[in-house]
Amino acid sequence: MKKAIGQVCLVAAALCASPALAHGDHEMPAGSNEMLRAPLSGAPDLEVIISDVVIPAGAQVPRHYHPGEEFLYVIEGSATHVEEGQPDRPLNAGDSYVIAPRRIHEPIGGPEGARAIVFRVHVKDQPERVLVPRDEAEEPSE
């Protein structure tokens, strides 16, 4: 488990320290760009996913949830985190936020869009993201 966590920490540190990310001169496509997926040796039912997430200006990510916990760090721009049952939360470069497993959310990119590094502790063999149509937008049962 220590080896897997060490690998994840090295990749996350490299992503966050990259001059290309820090200065915005590296273009990533809109959406969730998976950078790493690794098993957790001490927790066989879990894996870690690290993504570089880009939300264009004014765009709203489709309503969804993740089977695991999500940790995000905004590296550029701003967004509004919209989550079922919670007040909307503005997020700016330098902000971090934790989204509990199975919480329905649909962030919106700010005027200049947003870019975040997202670290997920994910349930193995489950879809990375589950879309929730607007008419079915109730909290999923455990």
Q: Where are the domains of the chain?
A: 2-134
- How high does pLDDT run on average in the chain? 83
- In terms of Cβ atoms closer than 10 Å to its own Cβ (0-12, 13-18, 19+), residue 51 is buried
Residue type, 119: F
pTM: 0.74
**Cβ contacts of residue 74 below 8 Å, gap of 6+?**
91, 92, 93, 94, 95, 96, 114, 115, 116
Residue with tokens 């329905």: 104
What are 71-103's pLDDT values in tens digits? 999 999 999 999 999 999 999 999 999 999 999
pLDDT band at 11 (very low <50, low <70, confident <90, very high): very low
Distance between CA atoms of residues 85 and 102, nearest Å: 13
**Cβ contacts of residue 58 below 8 Å, gap of 6+?**
108, 109, 111, 113
The CATH label, of 3.30.930.10, 2.60.120.10, 2.60.40.10, 2.70.70.10, for the domain at 2-134 is: 2.60.120.10
The dihedral built from the CA positions of residue 100, 10, 90 and 115, taken in this order, carries a sign that is negative
According to DSSP, the residues that pair with 138 across neighbouring strands are: none
> Are 80 and 11 within 8 A, CB to CB?
no
What are the backbone dihedrals phi and psi of residue 43, each rounded to the nearest 5 degrees, phi first?
A: -140, 85
